[in-house]
């Protein structure tokens, strides 16, 4: 069961406090990383959740793109144009 309470934050950002139960091992690892990075547990947990949710969103976008190409595949002409464009961009790189 999560306990929540709305708390204020400077610069007008409102947050909700949530209780999360962690194993001793996970808490130890979290504290080690927080100390190493000079950040709070809360900041690390917020960033981890943001990244996790962003990964899910990117995965969904990728799935939709693949589905679109499976539904309407590119033509041979489009593939030839894409390959020629990629080769041109590589040639222009100052390696």
Task: Give the start-to-end residue ranges of the domains of the chain.
Answer: 4-92
At 11 the pLDDT is 59
Per-residue pLDDT of the chain (95 residues; tens, 9 = 90+): 555 555 555 556 788 999 999 999 999 999 999 999 999 999 999 999 999 999 999 999 999 999 999 999 999 999 999 999 999 999 999 88
User: Sign of the CA dihedral 57, 58, 60, 61?
Assistant: positive
User: What angle separates helix 24-37 from helix 41-71, to the nearest 10 degrees?
Assistant: 100
| pLDDT for the residue numbered 15 | 86
Query: The pTM is what?
Result: 0.56
Which residues contact residue 81 at a Cβ distance below 8 angstroms, ignoring those fewer than 6 apart? Answer: none
What residues form DSSP beta bridges with 64?
A: none
User: What residues does 4 pair with on adjacent strands?
Assistant: 18
Tokens of 77: 């002409």
Residue 16 β-bridge partners:
6
């Amino acid at each position: 069961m999560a306990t929540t309470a709305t708390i204020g934050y400077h610069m007008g950002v409102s947050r909700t406090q949530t209780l999360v139960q962690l194993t001793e091992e996970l808490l130890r690892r979290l504290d080690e990383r927080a100390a190493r990075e000079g950040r709070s547990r809360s900041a690390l947990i917020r960033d981890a959740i943001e990244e996790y949710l962003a990964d899910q969103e990117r995965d969904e976008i990728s799935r939709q793109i693949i589905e679109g190409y499976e539904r309407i595949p590119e033509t041979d002409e489009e593939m030839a144009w894409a390959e020629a464009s990629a080769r041109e961009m590589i040639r222009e790189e100052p390696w």
